[in-house]
Amino acid sequence: MPTFYGNDYDNTVYQDDYDSDLTVYTYGGDDRIFLNLVGKYGGFNTVYAGADDDLVQNSFEGGNKIDLGSGNDSYVATGFSTSSKLYDVVYAGSGNDSFEVSTYHSDYYGETGNDAFFSVGYRNYFNGGSGTDTISYETQDEDDDLAGLGVAIDLGKGSAQTLGTSYKETLVSIENAIGTGASDKIYGSSGANKLWGDDGNDLIDGKGGNDTLYGGAGNDDLYGGSGNDKLYGGSGNDHLYGGSGADTFVFTSIADSKAHSSRDIIQDFSRAEDDYIDLRSIDADTTFGGNQSFDFIGSKGFSGEAGELRFSGGIVSGDVNGDGYADFQIKIAGQTKMYDSDFFL
């Protein structure tokens, strides 16, 4: 059982032979520890990374016990084992830590701090601990076996399943979630969540709490649920449901809701619940530099002046270049009249 003792400086450790059962103590410093570089062999190592911002990279899943210590640490694991006896246990300690793993069934604990977990979506266990923690399945897009399948994430139930498979991961004390480039189903919890669909035609439901939902590219369905939510449809033909509470429907670009058949639909705009449509990030007049505000003209037709915003026939239309035609449109279901006060312009 070889043991490496570092010091309070920046240590670099390479385990590049067939030996397993290595124990590493690196104490302070920004350390770099590379385990199981042989790939098919190794495991059963123990690491105490100590203080400061460390990187541990592990190429073999199996019996490794890692304590990243304090600091903003990074853990990268590329090993993969389907044996029930070969799994790793990793503790992040304090700090805002990052885990990027393609392992099969290991256990990861964020402990304190705002931690981020990146997984391709097999059978791992993720526990965020305290702080505001995020699970992301973006890296599934690069996996040879799972790319294109998508995930169903449910923060309230504490699970994430790769669609079309039996692969399910456990999520504990995680507040935010990011999907894949495929079509995902993402559900929040009773708390405040931030949920990103990424690409694909996603379904995102914030459930309870004051949530922020990002559809990303694709034709997405966003449900705020209860609470005061913010909904960003992103590009594509999106359907937006604020649910109960004072919700804000945010559009950051004219590409978020193109004119005619590509426009988004706000399905349940409610003035009585203090809902708003936020257009402040869109430059209303592209003929001038900077970010100009819109001028709401009610149901009047466009006059050929850039920056006009109108509502007619259930459709909000905006002209940003002064050609008298709509450069973007938003359908407001169930509304026959809109007012200047319904918008953040």
pTM of the model: 0.96
Q: Residue 197: helix, strand or coil by DSSP?
A: coil
Average pLDDT of the chain? 97
Are 115 and 99 in contact by the 8 Å Cβ rule? The answer is yes
Encoded tokens for 223: 């449900």
Q: In the chain, pLDDT over 70 holds for what percent of residues?
A: 99
Compute φ and ψ for 201, nearest 5 degrees: -90, 95
CB atoms within 10 A of CB 128: 26
Contacts of 212 (CB under 8 A, 6+ apart): 193, 194, 195, 206, 229, 230, 232
What amino acid occupies position 4? F
Alpha carbons 133 and 158: distance in angstroms, whole number: 13
pLDDT tier at 82, thresholds 50, 70, 90: confident
Q: For position 79, what pLDDT does the model report?
A: 85
> Cα separations (Å) of 100 from 75, 90, 107, 343?
6, 12, 13, 41
Q: Where are the alpha helices (DSSP H) in the chain?
A: none
Read off the pLDDT of residues 207-251 as tens digits, 9 standing for 90 and up: 999 999 999 999 999 999 999 999 999 999 999 999 999 999 999
Above 70 in pLDDT, residue 39?
no
